[in-house]
Amino acid sequence: MANELLNMDCKELRDQIAAGQVKSTEAAESVFKAIEKNDPVLGTYISTFKQQALAKAGDIDDKIAAGKPVGQLAGVPVAIKDNMCTTFGATTCASKILENFHAPYNATVVEKLLAADAVIIGKTNLDEFAMGSSTENSGLKQTVNPWDTTRVPGGSSGGSTAAVAAHLCFAALGSDTGGSIRQPASFCGVVGLKPTYGRVSRFGLVAYGSSLDQIGPITRTVADSALMMNIIAGHDPADSTSVDESTTPVCDYLEKLDEPLDNLKIAVVPQFNAGADQQVQKAIADAVDAYEKLGAEITEINMPHLDYAIAAYYVIATAEASSNLARYDGVHYGYRTKNPQDYIEVYSKSRAEAFGKEVKRRIMLGTYALSSGYYDAYYLKALKVRNLIRGDFTSAFEKCDCIMMPVSPTTAFKIGEKIDDPLTMYISDIYTIAANLAGVPAISIPCGFDDNNLPIGLQILAPAFAEDKLLRIARIYEKETDWHKKTPTMI
Ligand code: GLN
């Protein structure tokens, strides 16, 4: 029998805790019980902080009983992808190279969650350094999909999304470089938002592709996504790419959520969507029809450069990764080889022994693309394509408020199905990558199930810094449908 308390979303739980109807300690204990029951199979957490979480929950309960003011997320158990720095526990990036790394500071998003009185219960599994689409590249453990444990949860934020879907936390943070929040959200039937590049601080997020990475919320409802954005969005002086709020202010996303949306114009890109499986295409078409019935105007557009997004992304992301991962040298951070003969061996053996196969592949690809003589042919060309893709979005948003498309061409695939074929794995990112190249916000919301009872996600993309509108658009569909209320049978 599902635990009623765990069925609540963050907003409901927060309100009940604030009203003294539920204790935060009760919520945390229920979560840890669910973790003990189901996480041995699901493998969502790399580490949990039971004592610390229960102590924090107890403090919140005391504050509330004493009538003291508390934060926006007071007493709500949340999880963090293990590529965000915390002073408590290790920050592993699911890599052997950082297995015992303890960060000297908290990521800004972690500080913000703590300031909002959230109860952080653990850090979740991911593809090593967030490189992958299935969480199978984790160097530490395997995560499976709560809807079908023979399938992947998606990736790279597979631990966070499977934990939210299986009620092993109420919300989680993920990071999205090319789809890592949205694609696993779609595979696990939850809501995943990648904010505009620069809207949420990346300070303390272990860098993969710095010009693409963005932290965002993974939740069970759109309202929770808005609530989490209220906490994590905003300028951070510690991150020079975080955007100045005097030109692009943040707002109260939750308060704006139910404001009416008049004359909504939605664009679809038929020739692009045709690459998805039949059942995915049908679910997306049905969702778009539902919007039309609600009064939206649907237009078909052409975005001619989207076909080149994967090629451009896998040059740019690997180039940035090869540079970002140079710091793991056996000297500054993490793993060091035993008994090296000289300093060259400290470097080469430490990296050879502790990086996984996919990370090595990407370092080699990126180093090649940046090397003298190849830079113009690959890296520079990819940057030019990125500009053309940005241009496609600029012209699209002159004609519409948002674009709708699939999140992924398929539903969750079988464990092992694509892991030996990197190109097939990379192609599964076809629908998510363009938002990162263009820096625009995009959300995945549940919009159906296939014949195997696996969730399907609808992706909605909006202009930069229009998260408030994007959330409102997502919300009107969620209100009309029940997809987000379905839960895997194991809980
Ligand atoms: N699947 C993509 C990759 O492997 C995206 C990963 C991500 O968004 N972190 O690079």
pLDDT in tens, 277-302: 999 999 999 999 999 999 999 999 99
Please identify, by atom number, the ligand 1 atom nearest to the C-alpha of residue 179.
8
CB-CB contact of 142 with 43 (8 Å): yes
**What is the torsional sign of CA 335, 341, 342, 344?**
negative
* 41 CA → ligand 1 middle, Å: 24
Annotated catalytic, 81? Answer: yes
* 39 CA → ligand 1 middle, Å: 24
**Per-residue pLDDT tens for 141-169?**
999 999 999 999 999 999 999 999 999 99
Ligand 1 mutation pick, 156, 205, 208, max ligand atoms within 8 A of CB = 156
Does the pLDDT value for residue 2 go beyond 70? Answer: no
Mean pLDDT within 238-258: 95
CA distances from 350 to 323, 334, 337 (A): 17, 9, 5
The reported pLDDT for the residue numbered 491 is 86
CB-CB contact of 27 with 17 (8 Å): yes
pTM (2 decimals)? 0.98
CB-CB contact of 94 with 158 (8 Å): no
Ligand 1 mutation pick, 175, 177, 322, 431, max ligand atoms within 8 A of CB = 177
> Quick check: CB of 183 below 6 Å from ligand 1?
no
**Per-residue pLDDT tens for 314-337?**
999 999 999 999 999 999 889 999
Does the pLDDT value for residue 459 go beyond 70? Answer: yes
> Quick check: CB of 429 below 6 Å from ligand 1?
yes
**Per-residue pLDDT tens for 82-97?**
999 999 999 999 999 9
The reported pLDDT for the residue numbered 3 is 76
Please provide the average confidence, as pLDDT, over all residues in the chain: 97
pLDDT band at 271; cut points 50, 70, 90:
confident
The reported pLDDT for the residue numbered 224 is 98
| Annotated catalytic residue, options 24, 47, 134, 156 | 156
Mean pLDDT within 237-253: 94
Residue 464 to residue 295: CA distance in whole angstroms: 24
Mean pLDDT within 436-459: 98
* 313 CA → ligand 1 middle, Å: 10
**Cβ neighbours for 147, distance < 8 A, ≥ 6 positions apart:** 165, 188, 189, 412, 453, 454, 455, 488
**Per-residue pLDDT tens for 376-400?**
999 999 999 999 999 999 999 999 9
Mean pLDDT within 427-433: 96
The reported pLDDT for the residue numbered 333 is 86
Mean pLDDT within 242-260: 94
**Cβ neighbours for 143, distance < 8 A, ≥ 6 positions apart:** 42, 43, 44, 125, 135, 152, 153, 158, 159, 162
Does the pLDDT value for residue 1 go beyond 60? Answer: no
* 79 CA → ligand 1 middle, Å: 20
The residue contributing the CA closest to ligand 1 atom 4 is 132
Neighbours of 89 (CB within 10 A): 18
The reported pLDDT for the residue numbered 334 is 92
- % of the chain beyond a pLDDT of 90: 97
